[in-house]
Amino acid sequence: MRRLIVSLALALVLVASFAVPAFAATTADVTVTATPAYVSLSLGAVTTWPINGVFGGDSKIRPSTTYYANPTGDTTEPTATVVDGDCRFTFTNDGNVAIDIKCNFADFAGIVMTNINTGYANNGATAFGASGYASDAAWPGGAVIFKNAASGVFITNLAATFTKKWGVALKTQSDPFASATSMTSTITCTAIEHVGP
């Protein structure tokens, strides 16, 4: 009888142990990471262009003359394939994605000299033409017109953390200047994320 009671007790313990579930996780966590695409553009230490005042010039401009933001000479064209030494300025992609860069060249204020919007080979009575050139591009075939608005892409697919040297060619107005008053303008360059190959 005692054995029967012990056997029944053991059987009840075994049944009870199967009926009680083991402790199990009821939640699972997923860590989510989101890294923003960050577009950031900076210009190197050189941020000004005194036309005809960089190398060999007298800081005065003449009519119907083409000037270059070229450290080797104010009226010296870039080489057939532009090299860094032909370029006064440097872009740096400070973001984490490849970028395209567009540059608009505003009309000059002071004595007004307007942008003719057809590139450095053209000018008008009171209008200048301007184009950008970049290291490793062909000259003049790779030059890009700098308009006063809605310019095309100048630099394409500049990788994150990379730099690109560049310069500007500008042809002054065809008519004589009516005053010695200094003129000022701004080239505004804007980066957007590069899309595509």
In this prediction, residues 171-196 reach a mean pLDDT of: 96
pTM across the whole model: 0.85
pLDDT digits (tens, 9 = 90+) for 110-151: 888 999 999 999 999 999 999 999 999 999 999 999 999 999
Q: How many domains does the chain have?
A: 1
What are the E-state strand segments in the chain? 41-43, 66-68, 89-93, 99-105, 114-115, 127-134, 144-145, 153-158, 163-171, 187-193
What does the pLDDT look like over 133-143, one tens digit per residue? 999 999 999 99
pLDDT digits (tens, 9 = 90+) for 68-109: 999 999 999 999 999 999 999 999 999 999 999 999 999 999
Tell me the residue range of the domain where 75 lies. 41-193
The answer to the question of residue 18 being in a domain is no
Q: How far apart are CA 89 and CA 183, in angstroms?
A: 21
Residue 168 in domain: yes
